[in-house]
Amino acid sequence: SKPSSVLAFDLGASSGRAIVGRLDSEAGQVTIEEIHRFPNDPVKVGDHLHWDILRLFHELKQGILQTKQLGYTDIESLAIDSWAVDFGLLSQNGELLGNPYHYRDHQTDHAMDKVFALVGREKLYAKTGLQFLQFNSIFQLAAIKERNPELLERAATLLMIPDLLRYFLTGEKHSEFTNSTTTQLLNATTKTWDAELLEQLELPARLLLDPVASGTRVGSLTEDICTDLDVASIPVIAVGEHDTASAVVAVPALDDHFAFLSCGTWSLLGTETMEPVLTEQALAWNFTNEGGVYGTNRLLKNIMGLWLIQECKRTWDKEGKNLSFATLVKLAEQAKPFQSFIDPDDDMFLNPQHMPKQIQQYCRDTQQVVPQSEGEIARCILESLALKYRFVLEWTEQLTGVTYPGLHIVGGGIQNELLCQFTASATGREVWAGPVEGSALGNLVVQWIALGYIANLREARKLIRNSFPVKTYIPEDAAGWQAAYATFCQVASRSRMK
Ligand code: LFR
C-alpha cells in the first residue's frame, strides 16, 4: 500500500511550523518534512500583550499552499496543536471579539487570590486537579471580568487557540478535550465543565462547548479557503491540541511507566498515569493533572524552561550583541561551574522587563556570586534548570511510588546538548533525548490513529522509536552535582522554592 501523508501545524510560543508526515505502514517507518516555519511574535499594545492571531491564521494558509507547491497532493488530513490556556472570544454571529491575550500578560498578576477567595484553593484543586499558574484560563477570565466586563457580556463562545484557528479553517466550532483541561474550569472527574465553579465566579456557561475527544474528525477546509488556495478540501482532525499532550504522545517509551521532560520554551516534567492524582501532597507540591489522549493523564509540573535563555537572548539582541543560541551555549560551557543558582520558577522570572538583570538580582538577593558575562548568566540558567529537573523528578517519584531509571527528553530543547548532559549529571540517571519534533510527531500519529493506519498509542510510540534517533547521555561528576544540588536547594528555599 502507498504511504499516507498528513499535515501537522505545531505552534509554539516563539515560532510555528507546518510539517508533513509520511507513514510507510509496511516498513513501519515515519518520515517528516518541514514545509513552512514562521515566527510567532507577541504584540504589546497599550498595557497588554496579545497574540497576533490573524497573522498565525495567514501562516497556516501559507503552510497549506506550500504543501501543495511542494507536490503533496495526497494529504489525507491536517491538525493543529499549540500552547495551552489562551483563547479567543466570538460574538453571537461568530466574529472574533478582540485579540486573544498572551498568557504572560500582566492582567492576571493578582487574579489568583481573588478566585481563591470565592472558590477556595483546596476545592478548586479537588475539582480540577490542575496546578495553580496565574495564567490558567480561569484566572484570565476572572481578570477580564473585572477589567473589561463588556467583552464577556458580548461573547457568545470561547475557543482555545487551536479551536479558534481550526474554526477559521473549517467554519465549525468545537472544543478539544486535552486543551479544555488546561482552563481549570473542567472537572477532572466528570470531564465536563464544572457548573458550580462557573456560577461562583459568575462566568457565563454559554461560552463553553462540550469537549470532543482527541482524535475526532471535526470538519474540513471551507469552500472559500479551497477556492482561495486552489486546493481540494482536506479533512481536519482534533488531535491532542495541547502541544504538551502531543509531545507526550511522541515519547518513544516502550514501558507503561516512564518519566518525561518536554523541553521547549517551557520544561514540562512528569509522568503519564491512567488516573488524575488529586492527593494532598500533589496539591501541596502544586502538581498538575492535564488530560491526555485516549484516557491518559499527565502528572507534571511546569518549569520555566528555555524561556529564561530566550529572554536573555532577546534582551542582548536589543542591545546589539547578536549572540546565537549555539554561541551562548558555548560561552556557558566555558564559564566556571557551580557559581550561582536560581529557582527558575520564581514569579520574578515569568515576564520581567530585563531578564539578565532579573537573574543578577536574584543572585544578589540570595547572597550569591552575581554572574556578569553572558556565559556566566547562561551557565547559571542551564545548571539551575538541570537541578530543578532533579527536584521535580524526585517529587514525581514520591507521588507515584515508581522509580524511573532514566528520563526521556523530547522537543527542540534537546538541541541544547549541554543541557541534556547537565540533566543526566544532575539527576544521576541516563537521559534519552529524542525526537526533537515531539509535538508535531504526536500530532501526526494521532491523525493516523484517527484515520485507521495505526492501532493505538502503544503502536504509535513503537513506530516513533523505530523511525527517529534517540541519543543517550550518561551522568558525570556525581560528587560535584550532589554538592551543587545541596546548595541549590538551600538557595531556592530562601526564596520559597516553587
Ligand atoms: C507548553 C505549554 C504548557 C503550558 C504553557 C502555557 O508549550 O503548552 O504545557 O502550561 O505552554 O500555555
DSSP per-residue letters across 316-353: HHHTT----HHHHHHHHHHSPSSS----TT-GGGSS-S
Q: Please tell me the residue having the least CA distance from ligand 1 atom 8.
A: 83
Ligand 1 centre from 443 Cα, in Å?
Answer: 15
| Dihedrals phi, psi of 76, to nearest 5 degrees | -90, -25
Q: Is 85 in the pocket of ligand 1 (CB under 6 A)?
A: yes
Q: Please tell me the residue having the least CA distance from ligand 1 atom 12.
A: 84
Q: How much is the average pLDDT of 97-117?
A: 97
Tens digit of pLDDT for each residue in 277-320? 999 999 999 999 999 999 999 999 999 999 999 999 999 999 99
> Listing from the earlier edge strand, what are the strands of the sheet with 157-160?
96-97, 87-90, 157-160
Whether the predicted pLDDT of 495 surpasses 90: no
Residue spans of alpha helices (H) in 17-158:
53-69, 111-119, 121-128, 137-147, 149-154
Q: What angle do CA 42, 12, 17 make, to 5 degrees?
A: 110
DSSP state of 52: -
Confidence of residue 376 (pLDDT cuts 50, 70, 90): very high
| Dihedrals phi, psi of 309, to nearest 5 degrees | -85, -35
* Ligand 1 atom closest to the CA of 266, numbered from 1: 1
3-state secondary structure of 426: helix
Q: How much is the average pLDDT of 429-455?
A: 98
Tens digit of pLDDT for each residue in 222-258? 999 999 999 999 999 999 999 999 999 999 998 889 9
Q: How much is the average pLDDT of 364-379?
A: 97
Whether the predicted pLDDT of 131 surpasses 90: yes
Q: Please tell me the residue having the least CA distance from ligand 1 atom 4.
A: 84
Ligand 1 centre from 179 Cα, in Å?
Answer: 10
Q: Is 302 in the pocket of ligand 1 (CB under 6 A)?
A: yes
- What does the alpha-carbon distance between residue 378 and residue 331 come to, in Å, rounded to a whole number? 8
Q: Is 160 in the pocket of ligand 1 (CB under 6 A)?
A: no
Q: Please tell me the residue having the least CA distance from ligand 1 atom 1.
A: 83
**Confidence check on the interface: ipTM exceeds 0.95, yes or no:** yes
- What does the alpha-carbon distance between residue 326 and residue 307 come to, in Å, rounded to a whole number? 15
Q: Please tell me the residue having the least CA distance from ligand 1 atom 2.
A: 83
Ligand 1 centre from 370 Cα, in Å?
Answer: 30
496 against 57, higher pLDDT: 57
Look-up of cell digits 501541596: 284
Hey, what's the cell of 264?
Answer: 521547549
Q: What is the mean pLDDT of the chain?
A: 97
Ligand 1 centre from 281 Cα, in Å?
Answer: 23
Whether the predicted pLDDT of 498 surpasses 80: no
Ligand 1 centre from 436 Cα, in Å?
Answer: 17
Q: Are 176 and 212 in contact (CB under 8 A)?
A: yes
* Ligand 1 atom closest to the CA of 302, numbered from 1: 10
* Ligand 1 atom closest to the CA of 439, numbered from 1: 7
* Ligand 1 atom closest to the CA of 242, numbered from 1: 8
Q: How much is the average pLDDT of 460-489?
A: 98
Question: Per the omega criterion (within 30 degrees of 0), is the bond before 344 cis?
Answer: no
Q: Is 84 in the pocket of ligand 1 (CB under 6 A)?
A: yes
Confidence of residue 482 (pLDDT cuts 50, 70, 90): very high
Task: Kindly write down the DSSP assignment for every residue of 194-220, as one continuous string.
Answer: -HHHHHHTT--GGGPPPEEPTTEEEEE
Q: Please tell me the residue having the least CA distance from ligand 1 atom 9.
A: 244
> Quick one: what percent of the chain has pLDDT higher than 90?
98
Taking Cα atoms as reference points, which of 133, 102, 98, 97 lies closest to residue 115? 133
* Ligand 1 atom closest to the CA of 83, numbered from 1: 8
Q: Is 268 in the pocket of ligand 1 (CB under 6 A)?
A: yes
Q: What is the pLDDT of residue 468?
A: 97
Rounded to 10 deg, the angle between the 325-334 and 374-400 helix axes is 90
- What does the alpha-carbon distance between residue 269 and residue 408 come to, in Å, rounded to a whole number? 10
Tens digit of pLDDT for each residue in 38-81? 999 999 999 999 999 999 999 999 999 999 999 999 999 999 99
* Ligand 1 atom closest to the CA of 244, numbered from 1: 9
Q: What is the pLDDT of residue 494?
A: 78
State which of 103, 302, 306, 310 you would mutate to test the pocket of ligand 1, scoring each by most atoms of that ligand within 8 A of its C-beta: 302
Q: How much is the average pLDDT of 467-476?
A: 98
Q: How much is the average pLDDT of 181-208?
A: 97
* Residues tagged active-site: 243
Task: Kindly write down the DSSP assignment for every residue of 308-320, as one continuous string.
Answer: HHHHHHHHHHHTT
* Ligand 1 atom closest to the CA of 13, numbered from 1: 7
Taking Cα atoms as reference points, which of 220, 239, 163, 178 lies closest to residue 446? 239
State which of 15, 81, 82, 85 you would mutate to test the pocket of ligand 1, scoring each by most atoms of that ligand within 8 A of its C-beta: 85
- What does the alpha-carbon distance between residue 4 and residue 76 come to, in Å, rounded to a whole number? 7
Ligand 1 centre from 244 Cα, in Å?
Answer: 7
Q: What is the pLDDT of residue 315?
A: 98
Give 263's strand partners.
Answer: 267
Q: How far is CA 276 from CA 119, 137, 194, in A?
A: 21, 20, 16
Helix (H) or strand (E) holding 374: helix 374-400
Ligand 1 centre from 478 Cα, in Å?
Answer: 32
State which of 266, 301, 410, 439 you would mutate to test the pocket of ligand 1, scoring each by most atoms of that ligand within 8 A of its C-beta: 266
Q: What is the pLDDT of residue 254?
A: 87
Taking Cα atoms as reference points, which of 469, 475, 386 lies closest to residue 434? 469
Q: Buried b vs exposed e over 215-238: b needs ≥16 C-beta within 10 Å?
A: beebbbbeeebeeeeebeebbbbb
Q: Is 244 in the pocket of ligand 1 (CB under 6 A)?
A: yes
Q: What is the CA radius of gyration of the chain?
A: 22
